[in-house]
Structure 1
Amino acid sequence: MEDKEGGGGAKGADHAPKPERLLTGVPRLDFITKGGLLKGNCYSVLGPPGSGKTVMANQIAFNHVKDGGRALYVTLLSESHARMLSNLEVMTFFDRSVIPDQLHYISGYRELEQDGLKGLLELVRRAAQDHQASLLIIDGMDAAKEFARSDLTFKRFLQRLQTFTSILGTTVLLLSPHHEGEVHPESTAVDGVFELSLWLSGPRAVRELVAMKFRGSGSLLGKHEVEISERGVVIHPRTEVQFANPQEDGREDRIRMSFGIPGLDASIHGGLLSGSTTMLLGSPGTGKTLLGLHFLVQGAREGQPGVYFGFYETPPRLIEKAAGVGLPDLKKYVDSGVIELQWQPPLEHNLDSLAERLLERIHERKVKRLRLFIDSVAGFRSAAVYPERMGRFFSALSHQLRMMDVTALYSEETPLLSSGVDSPHPEEAAYVENIILLRYVELRSQLYRLISIMKMRESQYDSGIREFSISEKGISVAGTFTSAESILTGHARLTSNAPSSSDPPRKPARSGKKAQKPPQPQPRKPSRRRRS
């Protein structure tokens, strides 16, 4: 259709040969550039000291020769080759056996000092031809700029460099230090610019990468967080950009996913719809974690695999806690691999790295009808450098889980001492289909737990407020708690027909059984709603 409207030019463009790519091997950098660097092009890599320029350039070089290429690494006034290589030896990509035959290191500062840019250009030309380099890296371009009489002189040097490297088909990386607000003349002369940064967010050091310019191809714009580990440089593209255009389709044959708690399952008409996302809202101690574990264990009983993705409780402690509240089967299902406990140690995490870790593990398991419990949203929020991203981040993550037919529960804490039930982050209601509220209510100097369904898309549900209890037998949900007529305002009070204050107060349910109650008025039938 577009060919007919656009004429022959559009059709010819469809058949134009795609440019060859040089894969960097840097985790997710090729994803950001939508396929890798374009062969024969020249790229500038800018960044302050410590941002990862040299590590990333060497990582690209070692990966390139591993794929059969040949690389030439030219240093100007920088650390010695011996010191640089000793710092790289701890990286998993390092392979000393490829030096110097496939990966050749030379210093160009003496030629630069003696003969200026002309001498450096001649050295690089001769070495690139002799080594038959398909990748050329020049580290320390700030030293070369010092020998240029003007920006125009430096741009002419770059033009001559690109002329002969394009003839050889050599891809070029030019490394330069960079500070905020600094203008680099090479930025207008090269085919692409990658800017690395290193800054402090409170006590936390943050590394980021931005593809400022990338001729000949699209790229993922904006800031992407970077970490340096034994793998070298690892880039974490923003989750909301990674999954902006999901390719997979969600399943249409949806089923009900029950909690295994009769009173709760009845109120949601048999369970949550598969492929949906549910928020468990509640203050500390209301039972969010136990309810999530109930959901996973019930799934395992029905043959559905599960994942617990948590931040605050170690797997042994979680198993012990579950055994004490009527879920001894959790250990059995964990040992058999049906339920997987993924604990994130209390370290400085990267927000997008957490999402990648979760989604990649789900892909690796290759199972259907998976249940997921994220405990809690606060763990992701603490890893966010930019808190304003959280709405877009969770919207993208939830959509991706939905496309993978994962039925997800998120736990989210509300304030412990509050007179209301407002969500601490109202935007969360937009990216989940269902919201279940758990909270305490004080009545006659005693605390009770209440549960209510606040929202359910695409399904009928019982909107009544119900009391629930936690005992060594598990969670049990009782009938409608009629005396809490104002529960949603946080000010529960007895109705006019309720027993007087002179009557003895009833005791809260213990051990999963309801205590005897004084006569109560006929409970009002809860309304049934249908949300679309």
Structure 2
Amino acid sequence: MQQAPLPRLRTGIPGFDVLVGGGLIEGTSIIIQGRPGSGKTILANQIAFHHASQGGRVLCATVLAEPHERLFQFLSTLSFFDRERVGVDIQYVSAFDTLRSGGLAAVVALLRREIIRHRATLMLVDGLLTARGAAETALDTKMFVAELQGHAAFAGCGVLFLTSALLDDGSPEHTMVDGVVELAEQIGVARSSRWLTLRKTRGTAAIGGRHEFEIGADGVVVHPRLEALLGFSPEAAEMSNPTPEELTAELAADRRTPRVNVAIEGFDHLLGGGLPCGSGTLIASPSGGGKTLASLCFLAGSTLAEPGLMVGFFEPPVRLVRKGEAVGLPIARLAGSGALRFLHCGLAVRSIDAIGHEILTAVFDYGIKRIVIDSAGALFRIASNPGRVVEFFFALTSVLRQRGVTVLTTWETPDMTGSTSTAVISTDAASGAQGGLWSSQIYSSCDNLLSVHFDDRGGVLRRILRVQKMRDSHYDPQQRELQIASDGLRLVTTAAL
């Protein structure tokens, strides 16, 4: 007999509820831990104000010496803070003096009265570390947490305990509560990263591991690790494990894949009619090889019915428009009509998961059918953990492929001249010593691989394009010269080749 799902408390934190199966279980007790400045207070108060906006009543209790007015001053800079709710459906109570005069037992008695008086359905207790310091033994700490939980549960009230101590799994507090959320910050050279980890989740299937989050004008936004989120999705599991009937129907269907045209003269002929619709293509070349221009030629086929998206890290949209117009591509017109959109990410602002979610949001909202990622090397630069970029990239492109989106990704190689094979396997300068391994894994995750290298034989520098592979498709293996002129790009066969 299937049991009814447990009622959930929606937190209102973008990206958080999906990690915990739709929200916190009502009446649950959670520890939010992290060093000072990690975002605990913002996270907890954001949950509190969202809960109040949904008709709940919140009691915010602190055993810290900091006055509430100082807290309100900082919270007022965030959009979720509503001063009119303070004193109405959100009550702030200080238990600091009570702790000093009567100890933990007096604090429990005070909070029990306040829960009943305000008919609270959610309680925040800030300063668990202070309470722990006031306890004479570990048993006292355990009794303090247990008694607060008991009184809150009797009243139908959930509890969020906040502490700046990084408690271990065997601490008295951890053993008593239903869940533990840990916040941390990693200081990097280009940018700092904030991480949220679900250390304990009782009674719910959660997406574990570290997930990056950001704090902005609207408060906390969590970006679940894309590969973990998609692997956790029931829809993804169904798509990866077809039934025998579905597999038979798939094989019996007409599998002639439609082609996507690219505005480079001779390109579609080289690839047997164009890029297969819904495929992933990587074009690798050194700087100046024409990767970005080729990408714009691909996006030049975007329409209102099948829009395109340019995801860039180095060149802003205005520069890309000018670059396209310089070779006769109607990039400005396409952008003005809405057939082509730009997502300029930069290198030091967003996490790769934030970028991945923005790409998928654009696909869902606008029906994007052509995407350029310029370039994959930038993902390694901005990733806090470059080792997971390959898994992230594979997960992202897999979802796009399932939705019939054709993806073109660029990759910069350091070789200016040399054979095509040398250009392909070279280590990307942005990826460090691991670049060779990562690049080969990125290549293997793509359906099609194109490479461009320079050839200076005869005293003339030429760009040479070659199709390295096309999965499940015919193509012309003959390499071509890629010529760039004011009236467009073209592939030609020359005697030098």
User: Is the shorter-chain TM-score for this pair beyond 0.5, marking a shared fold?
Assistant: yes
Distance 1:408 1:205 in 2: 30
**In the alignment, which of 128, 145, 148 is matched to residue 115 of structure 2?**
128
Partner AA of 2:380 in structure 1:
R
Distance 1:195 1:114 in 2: 31
* 1:267 alignment counterpart: 270
Partner AA of 2:95 in structure 1:
G
Residue 147 of structure 2 is aligned to residue 160 of structure 1? yes
* 1:517 alignment counterpart: none
Partner AA of 2:382 in structure 1:
A
- Is the CA contact 2:31–2:180 (under 8 Å) kept in the aligned structure 1? yes
Of 371-380 and 105-114, more deviation after overlay is shown by 371-380
How far did 1:175 drift? Answer: 0.3
| Paired residue total | 466
How far did 1:169 drift? Answer: 1.1
Distance 2:417 2:465 in 1: 17
Partner AA of 2:301 in structure 1:
Q
**In the alignment, which of 214, 220, 237 is matched to residue 233 of structure 1?**
220
* 1:513 alignment counterpart: none
* 1:399 alignment counterpart: 398
The change in CA–CA distance for 1:140 and 1:253 in structure 2 (over 3 A counts) is farther
**In the alignment, which of 429, 442, 463 is matched to residue 449 of structure 1?**
463
User: TM-score, with normalisation over the residues of structure 1?
Assistant: 0.84
**In the alignment, which of 291, 294, 304 is matched to residue 291 of structure 1?**
294
Of 177-186 and 67-76, more deviation after overlay is shown by 177-186
Which string of whole-angstrom CA distances, capped at 9 and with x for unpartnered residues, describes residues 491-524 of structure 1?
A: xxxxxxxxxxxxxxxxxxxxxxxxxxxxxxxxxx
Residue 325 of structure 2 is aligned to residue 323 of structure 1? yes
How far did 1:180 drift? Answer: 8.2
Partner AA of 1:111 in structure 2:
T
Partner AA of 2:449 in structure 1:
I
Identity of matched residues, %:
33
Give ranges in structure 2 of 5+ residues lacking alignment: 241-249, 428-438
- Is the CA contact 1:354–1:380 (under 8 Å) kept in the aligned structure 2? no
Match runs of 1:41-120 below 5 Å:
41-120=28-107
Distance 1:235 1:78 in 2: 30
* 1:462 alignment counterpart: 476
* 1:341 alignment counterpart: 342
Partner AA of 2:267 in structure 1:
L
Which string of whole-angstrom CA distances, capped at 9 and with x for unpartnered residues, describes residues 361-387 of structure 1?
A: 2211135xx111111112222220111
Give ranges in structure 1 of 5+ residues lacking alignment: 1-11, 485-532
Match runs of 1:125-524 below 5 Å:
125-179=112-166, 184-202=171-189, 204-245=191-232, 247=235, 254-300=257-303, 304-327=306-329, 329-366=330-367, 370-417=369-416, 419=418, 420-423=422-425, 424=427, 425-479=439-493, 481=494, 483-484=496-497
How far did 1:215 drift? Answer: 0.4
Partner AA of 1:348 in structure 2:
V
Which string of whole-angstrom CA distances, capped at 9 and with x for unpartnered residues, describes residues 74-104 of structure 1?
A: 0112421101111011111111111111000
Considering only aligned residues, what root-mean-square deviation do their CA atoms show, in Å?
1.9
Greater share of residues in helix: 2
- Is the CA contact 1:78–1:140 (under 8 Å) kept in the aligned structure 2? no
Is the partner of 2:6 in helix, strand or coil?
coil
* 1:530 alignment counterpart: none
The change in CA–CA distance for 1:222 and 1:466 in structure 2 (over 3 A counts) is same
* 1:494 alignment counterpart: none
Of 246-255 and 174-183, more deviation after overlay is shown by 246-255
Distance 1:421 1:482 in 2: 22
Which string of whole-angstrom CA distances, capped at 9 and with x for unpartnered residues, describes residues 218-259 of structure 1?
A: 111100112111111111111111111552769978410011
User: TM-score, with normalisation over the residues of structure 2?
Assistant: 0.90
The change in CA–CA distance for 1:201 and 1:117 in structure 2 (over 3 A counts) is same
- Is the CA contact 2:278–2:400 (under 8 Å) kept in the aligned structure 1? yes
Distance 1:401 1:309 in 2: 14
Distance 1:126 1:309 in 2: 55
Distance 1:205 1:315 in 2: 26
Partner AA of 1:62 in structure 2:
F
- Is the CA contact 1:452–1:465 (under 8 Å) kept in the aligned structure 2? yes
Distance 2:6 2:102 in 1: 36
Distance 2:224 2:298 in 1: 32
Distance 2:256 2:84 in 1: 54
Which string of whole-angstrom CA distances, capped at 9 and with x for unpartnered residues, describes residues 241-281 of structure 1?
A: 11115527699784100113341111111111111110011
Off by >3 Å, runs of 4+ in structure 1: 179-184, 248-254, 416-419, 481-484
Structure of greater Rg: 1
- Is the CA contact 1:46–1:193 (under 8 Å) kept in the aligned structure 2? yes
How far did 1:421 drift? Answer: 2.0
